[in-house]
Amino acid sequence: MKICQKIGTRLITGGMMVLASPALLLAMGAPASGGQAKPGADWGGLVMLAAIFAIFYFLLIRPQQKRTKEHQELLKSLKRGDDVITTGGIYGRIAEIDEGIVMLEVAEKVKIKVARDQIAANRNMEAKTGPGKDEKKGPGQGSSGSFLDKLRGKMGS
């Protein structure tokens, strides 16, 4: 245990003298009037720390865990023939699927390998559930045919 002693505005701590202002002494917990500190004074800091942790948990940690869980469920539900979007923005249809690699058909007879973790969305699932709150169906986004078929039709004509 270090020995602390207050001499005017100097603080001697374990043989080392440090200049300290009265505000610093108050922040360190030294009583202002020379009396004893209140016995329950340290609970305020603990309550604030718990409140900050609760805010971080409910605003940052919990939503991220929910998104991660939903993404893992999406990756488990992938199957051959699903229209997907990668995190890089590539649209394609799953031609082959392995444990960690997905072969996407991005155009007729054009296939690319993509890491399974990089699949961001399943367009088939979005078509079944409909557009989100902020999305609106635009022209040409009806339910007939897949987006890859429509893309092939536009490029072929």
Report the side by side order of strands in the sheet with 91-97.
Answer: 110-115, 101-107, 91-97, 83-86, 119-122
Alpha-carbon distance of 116 to 12, in angstroms, equals: 62
pLDDT of 134 reads 46
CATH for 78-132+149-156 (2.30.30, 3.40.1350, 3.40.50, 1.10.10): 2.30.30
Read off the tokens for 136: 């609106």
* Sequence spans of domains, the chain: 1-29, 78-132+149-156
- For every one of its 157 residues, what pLDDT tens digit does the chain have, with 9 covering 90 and above? 445 555 555 555 555 555 556 655 556 665 555 556 566 667 888 999 999 999 999 999 999 999 999 999 999 999 999 999 999 999 999 999 998 999 999 999 999 999 999 999 998 876 666 555 444 444 444 445 666 666 666 655 5
